[in-house]
Amino acid sequence: MTTISFARGVPAPECIPVELLADCARAVVERDGATVLSYGSPAGYEPLREWIAERHGVEPGRVLVTNGSLQGLVFLAKRFAGERVLLESPTYDRPLKILAAAGVEVVAVAMDEEGLELEGLEEALASGDKPAFLYTIPTFQNPSGRTLTSERRRRLVDLAREHDLLVLEDDPYGLVRFDGEAPPTLFELDGGEHVLYSSSFSKTIAPGLRVGYFVLPAGLERELEALAVSTYITPALLGQATVFEFLRRDSLEPNLERIRPLLAARRNAMLESLERELPDARWSRPEGGYFIWLELADGADTATLLARAGSAGVSFVPGTDFGGAPNTARLAFSFVSPDEIREGVRRLGSLVAEPVSV
Ligand SMILES: Cc1ncc(COP(=O)(O)O)c(C=O)c1O
């Protein structure tokens, strides 16, 4: 039996615009090969930096384009090594590991269905050393799929101003919205003073290009640029130039319009199947992104369940990997087909219902 994976937060192969990217890659090598095949600016391919700067209404000197946005997070973690960072719980597991490896002290603040709990944030701000920054994924959060409400976004920006708190808004999923109205980003609400913004073309074009970016205060951008030089001299310019060519041809919006229904069909298949197969569980209902957060009955343990999931032909990531409770799990609907999702959730339902022999 082939395992159906709800563990992989990656796009389904049909979401990747392969032919168009092949054409863009060829075009940039032919047009600007001597630049993109050489060393260049450590901050990224200049035309792409300028495009991103214009999109966010900042000077290009505030934009750092990295080999995937996680690489930028590694630089930021190095810059703030030994300091204290607040983050929402649960949160994406890779930043947890990156921050721990850099010797950053991590303080978790609880979330509910409406995103980060601001009372908890105020408590964390009132005790201990001033944090270097707050790391948050306000839209279609990884792993929970939750989105911070507009009201809380405004209050969070007010709190950042009151406490002179830097906030890192990690926003790779914001454009991958299938329905509902997009709330303003924290960056837009703040005007880019207290909010650092990171995003990526991994979910909007293709993850294998490894193109992510940060919008930072100019001083911090220069500091991270220095770390970039000593790490890789120049990021991979061919991927960045290919992304730029894609954008220059106005292909981003049509591509988003193409992938939104592909992903929405998967999200719908998962929600409908959960309704049918897991009557005693609860789950998030995201309007976009890649993930649904599953909460089984109290006392359930998804790590134990995962140990038996292999033979049942389904996989997922236990919530504890993200700092969540033992009865939670992250289900990615992005990769497998709607039919596989229906079958995978059926397998998951049987697994949960199965009595455990001791
Ligand atoms: C919240 C979040 N940030 C960053 C990333 C990584 O993005 P990139 O591919 O640009 O490194 C992911 C990928 O899953 C993510 O979910």
Per-residue model confidence (pLDDT) at position 130 = 94
pTM, two decimals, is: 0.97
Domain spans in the chain, listed from the N-terminal domain onward: 4-14+253-353, 18-248
Determine whether domain 18-248 maps to CATH 3.40.640.10.
Answer: yes
Mean pLDDT of 148-175: 98
**Is the shortest distance between the CB of 286 and ligand 1 below 6 Å?**
no
Per-residue model confidence (pLDDT) at position 357 = 57
Determine whether domain 4-14+253-353 maps to CATH 2.60.410.10.
Answer: no
* 203: nearest Cα among 138, 111, 291: 291
Q: How far apart are CA 26 and CA 272, in angstroms?
A: 42
DSSP-H helix ranges across the chain: 18-36, 46-56, 69-79, 93-101, 118-126, 150-163, 186-190, 218-232, 237-248, 252-277, 302-312, 338-353
**Is the shortest distance between the CB of 138 and ligand 1 below 6 Å?**
no
The answer to whether residue 19 scores a pLDDT higher than 70 is yes
| Residue located nearest, by CA, to atom 7 of ligand 1 | 69
**Is the shortest distance between the CB of 69 and ligand 1 below 6 Å?**
yes
The answer to whether residue 356 scores a pLDDT higher than 90 is no
Distance (Å) from CA 69 to ligand 1 centroid: 6
